[in-house]
């Protein structure tokens, strides 16, 4: 019996691994246009070009990521896909020692070895996708990887004085 997932698989013959097709904003726009053509009443149709559609989607995504990064809000995704947000974790070390990291930037400039202490050594923040409320089959096969700009936003907030108060702990999410 061939399942729905098996039909969509594309094999890479050299590696003998399965890769799944990925979708980008152009594919989503094509689906949007198909749905607009299906609407019979002309007054209810929305005519957008690809560039307009992309700008609207990017503005919405940027606003949502700013809300999560700077205000610390958690967003519940529609269709039972879980929750997105930023959580903070308290950093613990063995024997209450503060472990410093090697400062590669200083070593590259001057040539001398130096250890670098972070100001936000008590807490670390990271993006998370809470899958516990997600009702999708094989949800452990999916992952959430934030972009560099979004992780940079969280870093800016954490470097501010008491910036770690913005985010919730893992138990409160």
Structural domain containing residue 73: 4-172
What are 24-57's pLDDT values in tens digits? Answer: 889 889 988 888 888 777 667 788 899 999 999 9
In total, how many domains does the chain have?
Answer: 1
Name the nearest CA neighbour of 82 among 143, 161, 21, 27: 143
User: In the predicted model, what is the mean pLDDT of residues 116-133?
Assistant: 75
Return the pLDDT at 134. Answer: 86
Read off the DSSP letter of residue 100.
P
Q: pLDDT digits over 59-88, tens only?
A: 998 999 899 888 888 889 888 888 888 888
Give the confidence band of 5 by pLDDT, cuts at 50, 70, 90: very low
**DSSP-H helix ranges across 8-133:** 25-37, 50-66, 104-110
**Using an 8 Å Cβ cutoff, are 80 and 56 in contact?**
no
Tell me the mean pLDDT in the region 8-35: 72
């Amino acid at each position: 019996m061939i399942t729905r997932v098996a039909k969509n698989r594309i094999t890479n013959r050299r590696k003998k691994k399965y890769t799944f097709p990925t979708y980008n904003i152009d594919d989503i726009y094509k689906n949007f246009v198909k749905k607009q053509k299906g609407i019979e009443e002309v007054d209810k149709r929305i005519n957008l070009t690809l560039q307009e559609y992309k700008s609207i989607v990017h503005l919405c995504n940027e606003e949502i990521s700013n809300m999560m990064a700077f205000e610390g809000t958690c967003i519940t995704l529609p269709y039972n896909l879980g929750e997105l947000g930023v959580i903070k974790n308290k950093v613990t070390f063995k024997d209450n020692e503060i472990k410093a990291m090697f400062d590669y930037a200083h070593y590259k400039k001057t040539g001398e070895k130096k250890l670098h202490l972070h100001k936000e050594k008590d807490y670390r923040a990271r993006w998370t996708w809470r899958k516990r409320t997600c009702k999708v089959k094989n949800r452990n096969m999916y992952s959430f990887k934030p972009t560099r700009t979004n992780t940079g936003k969280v870093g800016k907030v954490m470097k501010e004085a008491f910036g770690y108060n913005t985010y919730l702990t893992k138990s409160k999410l």
